[in-house]
Structure 1
Amino acid sequence: MNHVSGIYAALLTPFHEDQSIHKEALQQLVARMIDNGVHGLFALGTNGEFHTLTPQEKCEVATIVLKEAKGKVPVMLGVGGNYTGEVIQLAKQFEQLGATMFSVITPFFMPPNQSELANYFEDIANATKVPIFLYNIPSKTGVSIDPLTVARLAKHPNIYGIKDSSGDLQLIQSYIRHTQEEDFVVFAGTDSLILKTLQEGGGGAVAATANALPKLVSSIFTHFKNGQLEEAEKAQAQLQPLRDTFSLSTIPASLKKVVELSGIPVGPPRRPVQPVDSKALRQIETMMRTYRAEGVLDE
Structure 2
Amino acid sequence: MIKGSLVALVTPMDADGAIQWDALDRLVDWHIAEGTDGIVAVGTTGESATLDLDEHIAVIKRVVDRACGRIPVIAGTGANSTAEAIELTEKSAAIGADAALIVTPYYNKPPQEGLFRHYKAIAEAVDLPIIAYNVPGRTGVDMLPATVARLAQVPNIVGVKEAKGEMARVRELLALGLGPTFALYSGDDATARESILLGFHGDISVTANVAPEAMHQMCAAALAGDSARAAELDAPLQALHRDLFVEPNPLPVKWALARMGRIGEGLRLPLVPLATSCESTVTAALAEAGIQI
TM norm. shorter chain > 0.5 = yes
Q: How far apart are the structure 1 equivalents of 2:179 and 2:25?
A: 39
- Letter of the 2:45 partner, please give it: N
Deviates most, 170-179 or 183-192: 170-179
1:41 is aligned to: 39
Aligned position for 1:259: 257
Bigger CA drift: 87-96 or 111-120?
Answer: 87-96
Deviation at 1:263, TM superposition (A): 2.0
Secondary structure in structure 2 of the residue aligned to 1:151: helix
Moved more, 260-269 or 243-252: 243-252
Contact 2:115 2:143 in 1 (8 A): yes
Spell out the pairing of 1:1-299 with structure 2 (5 A cutoff).
Answer: 3-181=1-179, 183-292=181-290, 297=291
Task: Tell me the SS of whatever aligns to 2:282.
Answer: helix
- Count of residue pairs the alignment pairs up: 293
TM-score of the aligned structures, taking structure 2 as reference length: 0.95
Q: How far apart are the structure 2 equivalents of 1:118 and 1:289? A: 43
Counterparts in 2 of 1:214 and 1:139: CA distance versus 1, 3 Å: same
Q: In 1, Cα distance between the equivalents of 2:286 and 2:146? A: 42
CA deviation profile, 1:22-73 (whole Å, cap 9, x unmatched): 1111111111111101110111112111111100110111011101112211
CA distance 1:123–1:76, change in 2 (3 Å)? same
Give the 3 Å change call, closer, same or farther, for CA 182–267 of structure 1 in structure 2. Answer: same
- Give the stretch that moved more between structures: 251-260 or 218-227: 218-227
Q: Secondary structure at the match of 2:75?
A: strand
- Answer yes or no: is the 8 Å Cα contact 2:75–2:100 preserved in 1: yes
* Aligned-partner residue type, residue 18 of structure 2: S
CA-to-aligned-CA distance 1:114-159 (integer Å, 9 cap, x gap): 1111011000000011000000000111111111111111011210
5+ long unaligned stretches in structure 1: none
Question: How far off its partner does 1:227 sit?
Answer: 4.1
1:283 Cα deviation after fit: 3.0
SS at match of 2:131: strand
Q: In structure 2, list runs of 5 or more residues that go unmatched.
A: none
> What is the CA–CA distance in structure 2 between the aligned matches of 1:27 and 1:281, rounded to whole Å?
27
206-215 vs 40-49, which moves further: 40-49
Which stretch shows the higher mean deviation, 228-237 or 31-40? 228-237
Q: What is the alpha-carbon root mean square deviation over aligned residues?
A: 1.7
Write the distance in 1 (CA, Å) between the matches of 2:283 and 2:184: 34
Report how far residue 17 of structure 1 moved: 0.7
Is the alpha carbon distance of 1:153 and 1:52 closer, same or farther for their aligned partners in structure 2, counting shifts above 3 Å? same
Letter in 1 for 2:36: V
Write the deviation string for residues 258-290 of structure 1: whole angstroms up to 9, x where unpaired. 111112024232212211233322333333344
Is the CA contact 2:39–2:72 (under 8 Å) kept in the aligned structure 1?
Answer: yes
